[in-house]
Structure 1
């Protein structure tokens, strides 16, 4: 990716940060922030997005001509959008839409981009990515080769049957990317939502609450999709999944780093103002050292994100690099969020600040887009392969 240059990207990032801090942070007290524990209401999302358009920060990582910022440029923008859990929703940099836009931009045909991508970039619609399947069905989770959902051609259509689980934002989405397996291998299809053949069985109660629509279990019953709505080629679905997931993992790191930075700000202010045992909390080594350790983790996370983004910008798929970033950054952010809660004591586990929610969101982040342990295992296999090549 050529991008626009870091100076211009930082200008965009500054506008995003000002918008999030001045306009979006006050919404954190809005009663529409959680609908039955499953993310902000559609009304609230569209209200915030109207203000983002007016401020010129809607989908800021995608330029008016359709070109995408480089990954390094995207990082400085997405980190700022994540200063509030509502920021990515308002600015349209949130998962799964951000990853779906990236995939469509890379793989979609001109007609598919016009029909499906355009409404996502404008922020008029949300999307869902249907890949993960219920463990009870023996379906695909961290191992996509276990996929049970099937598709087969029928005239000028494909027919899809199966069940999916943990489908983020399925409730309320208008664009879906459905993954299924054919005799040739994995395939992806673009579908308009809602569709009577795609039925939400239930929305799960999960620890996180930032994503509208929550995470759903979905039944797909004889879904008929026109052949021209297959994304890319039949049998190439796993390859396309990596096109999406490598940068998407990194984008999660960017957004939640913004949340960790905000938590550190709140915890620091608390520790500097709150007194105990005759002095400010920050003057107690047990507290001050936690904040110092957080600052180290923040700076290391920034460096890891920048390094991985640079690899992706070279045109390399960067699967190993994104796995390393996912592990290192998600674990660092968990340490930061946990220490912020600890510094703030009872206030830290209450809803009086956003710190408690960021703690919950980061805890979930250590699992989605691949748990830490799966990424470590994948890297260990690569280490073994590289050794074998170097030592035939």
Structure 2
């Protein structure tokens, strides 16, 4: 299995200050073959059930986790489900899949494509990092009996490339800062491109609020919002105390998406060491989160995600890079799940306002986004 070249997108004239993924490529992944997803600051991927919306976000999150240095087996726990349907094994009984992305940033567009063997054993068998038509890193499986791939990265000095082995269970691009010295201009170019790619990929927060888990009081913990938002009450207590302005914005957003009046969103400690949250309705009336509908709970959690940042969300951010140079990307599968049309519209409008500031990006899936076509700041990908 090898990496095939895909036509490069047009290069934008203005380079963004913050790296961000501008294209997701599924050359061969699950139900997708040679599919491109152009990604803007706010992208809604729409289509009927079975069209591959969840698979697209699954591939994006996989790239993000690989960019953070995770092992291949941790990322793809059921790799056979990623192999395209009806894909036949080759002469060595190997089957696999191919995914990639483009990240635009200060260095310009940088492309990453990887080929993963899913059967008979899971391993990365090919990886390519390119920028401006120049191959900066390329790996290939030479000896199936060894757990390594042969890598060649651009040097640009007396030798055009430097060669060496890399493990076959990790993304080579994420390992380059540990292997490339940066002694030549070419190696510095390799490092800059790899760091831009990794920086954009690792700042990802995948979110799928679970109303069932959010209804209960939350134990005191790290204060970081989990993927299922089951510790929502604890995080609401934290965010209210830390930033009054952001909390006021949250209250306004909740009031626009929940039934009845909402004067405040409050939390309180209980005697058993847990925290309970509720809506202040005014005149002393309160509604515990456990009494809210599923749509209201999901709406509240997603609004909180959009109005906070990496310091509040359980996300692997690059601590060595200033926050002003990073963009958090939120992946929200089933953005409209349990929500009515009014709630979905309010949530997307809130997302558009937050994404316009450049600190956050959102890729969400929903069944129908026809109403969002033409909405300022919203890009729609129809499947």
TM-score range, shorter chain: under 0.3
TM-score by length of structure 2 reads 0.27
Larger Rg computed on CA atoms: 2
Does 1 or 2 have the higher relative contact order (CA < 8 Å, sep 6+)?
2
Q: Which has the higher helix share?
A: 1
TM-score by length of structure 1 reads 0.27
Q: Which has the higher strand share?
A: 2
